[in-house]
Structure 1
Amino acid sequence: MRTISRRWDGADSSRVRQRSPRPGPAVAGLATAPPAAAATRPNVLLIITDDQPKHTDWATPKTIDWLVGQGVKFTNGHVTTPLCAPSRSSVFSGRYAHNHGVRDNGHPYKLDQSTTVQRHLKQAGYRTGLFGKYLNAWNVDDNPPHFEEWVLEDPVVYNDGTYNVNGTVQTIAGYSTTVIKNRALAFLSKAATDTRPWFAVVTPKASHEPNTPETKYANTVVPDWNGRPSVAENDRSDKPDYIQSATATLSDAQALRQRQLRTLLSVDDAVQAFKDKLASLGQLDNTLVIYLGDNGYTWADHGWLKKSVPYLPSIEVPFYLSWPAGGLGVFPALNTGTHRGTAPAKSYRPNGYGLYNTAGNVSEWCADWFSADFHRARPRDNPTGPSTGLGRVMRGGSHMCHESYCNRYRVGARSSNTPDSSTGNIGFRVAASPA
């Protein structure tokens, strides 16, 4: 173990002592800035896996059950730069690589730290923490800026790694995903007494090479995979020279995939532990959880068994998000707040007959034939529509459907559709009297 004091820009301190990174001018006034009440702002848990391809759901069922079951799965999640440090810099800064300056894995200090989400959240009064990998080629002696607590691993290995723990570099025995999980859980536990909202970045090594699984998963049987058309491509004459000369085979890809899936099983365990901890703290609903890979990985597609190429397996990543209190996950089963657009069931009082949502839920299918101008010639009371037509009247819309579809919902609105339509948001209402 050694205690160090180096600023994030790599400059050595004249004295050897443990300390946190110095705040820059933009955050110098943080101590006196009154943070907003934690209850009004969500916690943020950002989980970034390493080299995790899109088609790895089998290894993370608990993660998907939580984040997709109570949130959303972005089925077309992509990264713009399929390489670790540039991609992570984009996540932190919200900028493309040509703007944030980190264009490879060798120059992490080019990232303008004043642009990062951790800087902005720390300035806003959030408690911030980093647990795991930061940026490739970041010196382990250098503290990551704008994090209040951190356990930064470098070099990133699977077992018995070297970590910078809040300014002290030390070796911690054990499997890295477990070490990172436990340190992150300790950070979350402080929410029991620290009322500030928090931002935690959790970045395990999995599923990066050498894809060393935890001992308990070393021999886990994974589902078979027999490749895809891009793996068996025989004619690569239209590809760049480096792809034409690539030699990876289906067998190579199957072995790599097996190792990757086994390492991700431990990540799935960690995510479940985070969920359990948040539930015990009563912070499950008001925590925004984002899970994504920093880049994908090819499984011998076009003979390539790496990343950093503009092919779909290299840029497609798993991408999940859940924030129940923000309306992602609990809707429509639970009323979680004030609704200006869509709304869960029973958000509003019933009518005089005790019926809820007597207008809405679905577009109501009516018997009347539709005519855009027929109402002009009919009485105002109980107009019946023309005697024939091509489309039946649909009344209103749904205040429960997605805001992008029914944001202009009005009870009095009328539209039409043909009787043989297979549209799934059309229904009709029935009423029953007690026997």
Structure 2
Amino acid sequence: MPTNRDLDRRGLLKVTGASLATVGLAAAGCGGDDGGSGGTNADGPATLRFAWWGGEPRAVKIKKAIALFEKKNPKIKIKPEFTDYQAFWEKFQTQASGGNPPDVFLNSVAFLAKYDKRGVLLDLKSQIDAGNLSLKNFRGGVESAGQVTGGKQVAVPVGANTMSLVIDKKAFAKAGVEPKFGWTWDEYFKTLQTIQDKLKISGDTGYAGIMYLYDLYLRQNGKAFFKDGKLGFTEDDLTQWWSDYYKRVKSGIVADPKKIEQVKPKSGLSAGLAAGEFTWDNFSVRYEGEGDSDYGLAPIPTTDGKDTGQYLGSLMLSISTKCKAQAQAAKFIDFMVHDPEVGKILGYDMGVLATTDQFDAYKPGEEADKAVAEANEGIAAYETAVDKAGVLGKITPHPSGADVVEAAFLRIAGDVANAKQKVPAAVKQFFSEAEAAFQG
């Protein structure tokens, strides 16, 4: 899965095609009284390097959580390392290649298979069996997001989110339209037309390159974006998706991508260019700070009037196979995802809190910033409603190269929207780049 609202999706994905940067390696790996095998003494002395990405507000919160952990576990010291998203993964690639990754680090589903394949990620089963790390009390089955093909657990969710439609509530009200659970894609696109007819703005900022949204659409139709280590759909499937999208851009019910580009880093939604935008629900806090309207979360459209294809995705924590104090590292992760006080400290910075221990402890309306408080209350209500609707399934494990595939999907969809490439050629290019990414 940053202080998510501060980051542009294209910027997030620039790293995926990057070569290894020339950056200095960090200090030597963790030490402890467990020896080189990882051991089982979770209370023994150790110093752990913990790395994450994000801005200064996230760093302040995580450092408070670290201080609380060290107070309760005085023999274990945590050395923090943080940077922005792109720099994090460039540095991590170099560290991993040099055999010196951080001991504990923030991770994402797009990178699990890649670094598991390279032997970087610790299989957490031994620490779970030893009682140092618990997979209990995770919401909506999100713990499965930390698994690679075969069910091996290589990461533990620290925050969870799901795809949503963020809407300009004033615009929808003026147009006389209301999204409801179970509405269909046909109803959604009719809604966009109504918004355009009545308000003279587009209904959607642009959806064709959002890999996770297309994954939901495919899941609604019995497929998935990834399956068995490769793409789970055909060229004909994608041709239909992108062709329909291009027609909607030309008709105006989906925003002109050139205008969307011009207002960046502001969103086309908060800039008033469109009335809705698909994104992860916890990203929605950004709109209250950027725009002048009122924003809310609406359900994902469906194919059959019921199944949205949704699941909880997450940011996660992993342990390096190079860590010499694996028991202490597992204890630290367990603390970060289960301790109620940590939940109160972190809030929704890395997504809606993944465990009920923390979700129930944190009150999202208590932030000093009223807009943020209201947005977080809306996010909590949305995830609760989605869970109660019974539509949540399990995320499909992403193969090695998924990060590169996601970047290609976004980029090539942009070429289609801007008429830089015709759909048939764009589809063939995407499938070719995806195949190369899987083999890389």
TM-score, normalized by length of structure 2?
A: 0.25
Task: Report which structure shows greater RCO (CA 8 Å, sep ≥6).
Answer: 2
Give 1 or 2 for the bigger CA radius of gyration: 1
Q: Greater helix share, 1 or 2? A: 2
TM-score, normalized by length of structure 1?
A: 0.25
